[in-house]
Chain A
Amino acid sequence: MKLSFEAGVEAFRREFVEWLAANRPTEAERAAEPARSSAHVPDWARRWARRLFDAGWLVPGWPPELGGRNVGPVEQLVYLEEMSRARVPRTTNPQGLGIIAPSIIDYGSEEQVRDYALPILRGEKAGCLGMSEPGAGSDLAALATRAELRGDRFVVNGQKVWTSGANYADFCFLFCRTDPAAPKHRGISVLLVEMDRPGLRVKPLPEIVGRHHPDLNEVFFTDVEVPASQLVGKLDNGWAMASGSLAHERGMVWLEGVLGLQASTGRLIADAPRWLARMSETERAGHVDRIVRSWADAQAARCLGYRGFARLVRGGTAPEQALMKLMSSEARQRVALTGAELQGARGLDASAQEGYFTEWTPLEQYFVTFGGTISAGTSEIQRNIIAEKVLGLPRG
């Protein structure tokens, strides 16, 4: 058990911090063209991705040809810590960098890596992830969007929903059913579908706050023709990729939750005194207790995450990891609500401006945090997974 990292890791940290200070996008260029969606890559973001890629700072754990420098998991963790501390977005197409590009690199053809994965990494293209459907949410394997192989092309029919960034993406990493006769987990394949194909229609789905800049969409496919060469990996073998792709950087996904939670807790504590000063002593006590609990949540998430991480690095298993998404998404909800209630009636004000990366007011943030407890497996599903997979309770 050790609180510090080894000297070599700290040297790595210093090297990155220095590079970051010299190369980060400026506040001015970011403000001039804010990213409007999780697949919108403004010019500054494109240039930023290219700088990261060329310098080997995009995914440090990968080899240089993929924008990395072959460092180990501890360095990768330190890198993400510093990126978060500097409050610089690593990418404006997180699902592209985190899930789509790695899946293509692992499963795709050389041409697909050249035409889709590398352009994502260099900020030249943005992808969206076609997974959920009206009838397939938590039960993703129930997806019904059909891709029928006819000669040298697939014909796609069906509908996706909650597709982040589909309104800005260049292509979709689409999970579809290629063998309707097979059991539901088999018979699923992945296609790379250009968003400008005839028969493909995107309908933005304005969200609970920030309706002028929707990121979620419905995507309709009507006889959309896709060349057979756009199949990623083997036919009917897409489910492996669904679990596989979601597991990309899974060893690190927890860290985003923790860093986000720490940042919002830090802001709450910095902002709290001026609101607390207006209150009576009894009223203040309740608020203070909730703020301290949020601070404790952030510390707990950090310690639990680092403990699991240490186990993974040593080659063991880390059942704690299954807890992290549940814990940090619910904690973020609490911290936002605490912040909103602290401000009383003033907390009801709406943000003056909005965009995909807007700093929402605490009350808006509170609504936004439900995205965390609903998407990628609701909190209820997370509890089922913990109960069944980690604790070994029988399925109901």
Chain B
Amino acid sequence: MDLELSEEQQALRDGVRRVLEEQCPPALPRAVHERAETGLALWQQLVALGWPGVAIDEAHGGLGLGAVELCLVAEEIGRAVAPGPFLATATQLAPLLQATGDAPLAHALLRRIAAGTVTGSLALAEADRWEVARVACRARREGEGFTLAGEKTAVFDGASAEEIAVVARGDEGVGVFVVPGSAVKATPRTLLDPTLALADLTLDDVAVPAERVLIAPGLAAERAVERALEVASVALALATVGACRRIFELTLEYAKLRRQYERPIGSFQALKHRLADMYLSVERATALGYFAAATLAEDDPRRAEAAALAKAEAGDCQRLLVAEGLQLHGGIGFTWEHDLHLWLKRAKVGDALLGSAAEQRARLARRLGLVAA
């Protein structure tokens, strides 16, 4: 088992980091926080580099790389607190389209995502629970097509995405239906971190013609959604770890520079031990994130548990890094003016979405046979 990035993967990661350092300095997420920017200009830059299609087959105009590369881009997105449609479009909608086999609708949409001519999202959660079993939104057959009725919550880019894959329940189980963003009523949520945009959706008898049914209700649809959720979870886990790693770097730097009692505060053992624990936390979350990404790339049977574990670890990591990062920065980190809060908030958001650490551990407990499934 080799969990180190290949040379090509490292080159990709370094390249993405360079571009984001240039195109997405902290001033950009800050401007989004202060409602002066949206992040769409950044998206156009990413489109020009082909990143939305990083894991989409070359046959569909993508770069033809895999889940590992997708997650590496996500990690850098988190590190830069980059706003914009990447996570929703490339790590949520695209993997679901890829999990559907050879449907013409999936082909057409993947092609447009790779070309950067469409943004999208996945509407799964209801009452903020990302679980297929809890989907109550109805899909009623109407001739060849369906009519959707119900509520979806916490949809990434829910108010701006152009194409939304809605998971809804028919008589044979859940199915997946692609509806234009304009067909649903979106209520944007005001987040503490506005660099990720969430919205609640109301589907008020939205008609879906047959050619827009991505996967008809049944077991295959359920499996496809689960698999896509695994990809989305690992990508978000690594995005969260990326933000945490930056918190760690900033805190370490500060501990070396800030002097009190005529010496750097980082020379005090109480701080050293806490920085060592922060480092350990970031490294283990990274290693489990990469392991999970590798299980996705190789379609290893452990992928579901690896994804849950990566997301749980990212959650624990942010818990420590946010607390210690803020505490060790002292007063300066408590101000709006200092950039630290950009990463702190992004890290918090990354845990609570797609299932928190506690939810992931509950899932793992079932898989390990510790509680009834």
Contacts and interface: CB of A to CB of B under 8 A. Distances in A.
A3 B1 contact: yes
A264 to B, nearest CB: 15
A3 B294 contact: yes
Interface string A327-362: 100000000000000000000000000000000000
B266 A300 contact: no
A320 B285 CA distance: 12
B196 interface: no
A393 B275 contact: yes
Nearest to A5: B1
Contact of B269 (A289, A299, A384, A391): A384
Contact of A295 (B269, B293, B297, B368): B368
What 10 A-B pairs have minimum CB-CB distances, sorted nearest first?
Answer: A387-B272, A310-B4, A303-B287, A307-B3, A300-B284, A383-B276, A386-B276, A393-B266, A304-B287, A394-B267
B31 interface: no
A4 interface: yes
20 contacts: A1-B6, A1-B9, A4-B298, A269-B370, A289-B358, A291-B368, A292-B361, A292-B368, A299-B291, A300-B284, A307-B4, A311-B4, A323-B279, A327-B284, A383-B272, A383-B277, A384-B269, A391-B279, A394-B266, A396-B272
Contacts of B276: 326, 382-384, 386-387, 391
B255 interface: yes
B283 interface: yes
Contacts of A303: 3, 284, 287-288, 290-291
B159 to A, nearest CB: 36
Nearest to A327: B280
A298 B13 CA distance: 28
A75 to B, nearest CB: 14
Interface string B264-282: 1011110111011101100
Interface of A: 1-5, 269, 272-273, 276, 284, 288-289, 291-293, 295-296, 299-301, 303-304, 306-307, 310-311, 314, 320, 323, 326-327, 380, 382-384, 386-388, 390-396
B2 to A, nearest CB: 5
Q: Which of B6, B268, B312, B371 has the most CB of A within 10 A?
A: B371
Interface residues on B, range: 35 or more
B142 interface: no
Contacts of A382: 276
Contacts of B267: 393-396
Nearest to B295: A3
A71 B102 CA distance: 46
Nearest to A295: B368
B255 A393 contact: yes
Contacts of A327: 280, 284
A388 to B, nearest CB: 7
Contacts of A304: 283-284, 287
A306 B279 contact: no
B68 A392 contact: no
A289 B271 CA distance: 29
A391 B277 CA distance: 11
Given A269-B369, A303-B284, 16 more contacts: A1-B290, A4-B1, A269-B370, A272-B370, A284-B371, A289-B361, A291-B368, A296-B364, A303-B288, A307-B290, A314-B4, A323-B279, A387-B276, A391-B272, A393-B256, A393-B271
Contacts, number: 141
B283 A292 contact: no
A27 to B, nearest CB: 28
B311 to A, nearest CB: 11
B66 to A, nearest CB: 9
Contacts of B291: 299, 303
Contacts of A276: 370-371
Contact of A323 (B4, B273, B280, B290): B280
Given A306-B1, A388-B272, A391-B279, A300 B287 contact: yes
Contact of B370 (A5, A292, A310, A394): A292
Contacts of A380: 273
B230 interface: no
Given A292-B361, A292-B368, A386 B288 contact: no
B265 to A, nearest CB: 10
A1 B5 contact: yes
B3 A306 contact: yes
B309 interface: yes
A295 B364 contact: yes
A392 B2 CA distance: 28
B108 interface: no
Contacts of B14: none
Contacts of B361: 289, 292-293, 296
B272 A384 contact: yes
A385 to B, nearest CB: 8
A391 B280 contact: no
B76 to A, nearest CB: 16
A11 to B, nearest CB: 17
A314 B9 CA distance: 15
B252 interface: yes
Contacts of B284: 300-301, 303-304, 323, 327
A19 B248 CA distance: 48
B193 interface: no
Nearest to A388: B272
B200 interface: no
Contacts of B365: 288-289, 291-292
B176 to A, nearest CB: 29
A138 B263 CA distance: 25
